Amino acid sequence: MNGTAFSASLAQFQPEIAAIALRLLGAIALFYGGRWCATQIQRVIRQIMTKARMDASLISFSSHFSYYGVIALVALTIMGLLGIETTSLVAMLGAASIAIGLALQGSLSNFAAGILLIIFHPFRVGDLIEGAGVTGIVEEIQLFTTFVLTDDNRLVVIPNSKLINDNIVNRSAKGCLRVDLVVGIDYEDNLQDVKSIISDVLSADARILKDPKPEIGVLELAENYIRLAIRPWTESRNYWPVYFHVYERLVERFREEGVTVPSTKQDVHIHGIPTPQSMN
C-alpha cells in the first residue's frame, strides 16, 4: 500500500477515531467531575445535617451513602457514554445477583447491620461502649464498619455485623457512670473517721457528681481487715481519671491521718514446745 492509499484509508476512519477520542475524553472528564461533585454533595449534606443538629452517627452514615450513590450514577453514565448497553448490563447484574450476594454476604450483612445501628441507635458517635471484645469511644459509623478509639489510643475498625450480633454495653447511655472502688482498713481504725476522710477526698474532686450522691459503706468483714465500698458518680469521659485520682488521694490521706492499710498477714502462735529452762 502506497502512501496515497494509506492516507485515504486513514482519512476514511478519522471521523470514527475522533468520535472515540471525544468519548474517552468525555468519560475522563465525567469521572473526575463526578467524583468532585460527589465530594461536594457529601460535604454539603454534612453541613446541612450538622446545622440541623442531627445525630452525628446519622450524619456520617448519610454522607457516605450519598457519596457512593453519586459515584454509582456517574459510573452508569460513563458506561452509557462509551456505548456500553446499560440495560443489558443491569439485566446481567440482576441475573448474577444471587452469586454476587453469596460472594459478598459478609459485606451485605455489614451494610444491613449499619442501617440497623442508625435506626435503633444502640450507641452514637462519642459514646463509650463495649462490643465485639473492644472497649472505647465511637469515632465514626460508616456503611460497613464502625471506628472505635480505645483508651490506649488505638483505632479499632469493627465490622457492623459483629457489633449488631454481640452484646453492646453503652456506658454513656445515661450520661454518667458509677466508679466502683474498694479499700481495706484495720479493725482498730475508727470507722467514722475513715469515712469522713473518704468523703473529704470525694468532695474535693470537682469531676465527681453531687447527684447522685456518692455512697460509702462496709462491704465485707474480712478475717484481718474491713473492706469499704466507695461509689462516686462521674461523667463517662472522666471515669478513668477519677478512678486513678481518688485511689491516689486516699493513699496520701491515709498516710497523713495514720489510717492503717492492712496487708495480708498471719500471726502464728506455737504452744507446747519446751524451753531450755524447762528441759533442765
CA dist., res. 166 & res. 184, Å (int) = 37
Where, residue-wise, is CATH 3.30.70.100 in the chain? Answer: 176-257
pLDDT score, position 105: 61
Residues 6+ apart with CB under 8 A from 43: 63
DSSP string, 133-163: TEEEEEEEE-SSEEEEEETTS-EEEEEHHHH
Q: Phi, psi (5° rounding) for residue 72?
A: -65, -40
106-115, 137-146, 258-267: segment of lowest average pLDDT: 258-267
Residue whose cell numbers read 464502625? 146
Chosen CATH of 176-257 out of 3.30.70.100, 1.10.3720.10, 3.20.20.120, 3.30.470.20: 3.30.70.100
Against a cut of 0.85, is the pTM above it? Answer: no
- Does the structure show a pLDDT above 60 at 97? no
Is 14-95 in CATH node 1.10.287.1260? yes
| 234: helix, strand or coil | strand
Q: Domain 122-170 is in which class?
A: mainly beta
In the chain, the amino acid numbered 71 is: I
Query: Out of 81-90, 201-210, 215-224, 246-255, which region has the weakest mean confidence (pLDDT)?
Result: 81-90
SS3 236: helix
Comparison of pLDDT for 184 and 95, the residue scoring more: 184
Question: In the chain, which segments carry CATH 2.30.30.60?
Answer: 122-170
pLDDT at 29 over 60: yes
Name the residue among 168, 214, 166, 216 with its Cα closest to residue 191. Answer: 216
Residue intervals in the chain for CATH 1.10.287.1260: 14-95
Mean pLDDT, range 252-262, rounded to an integer: 91
φ/ψ of 205, rounded to 5, equals -95, 115
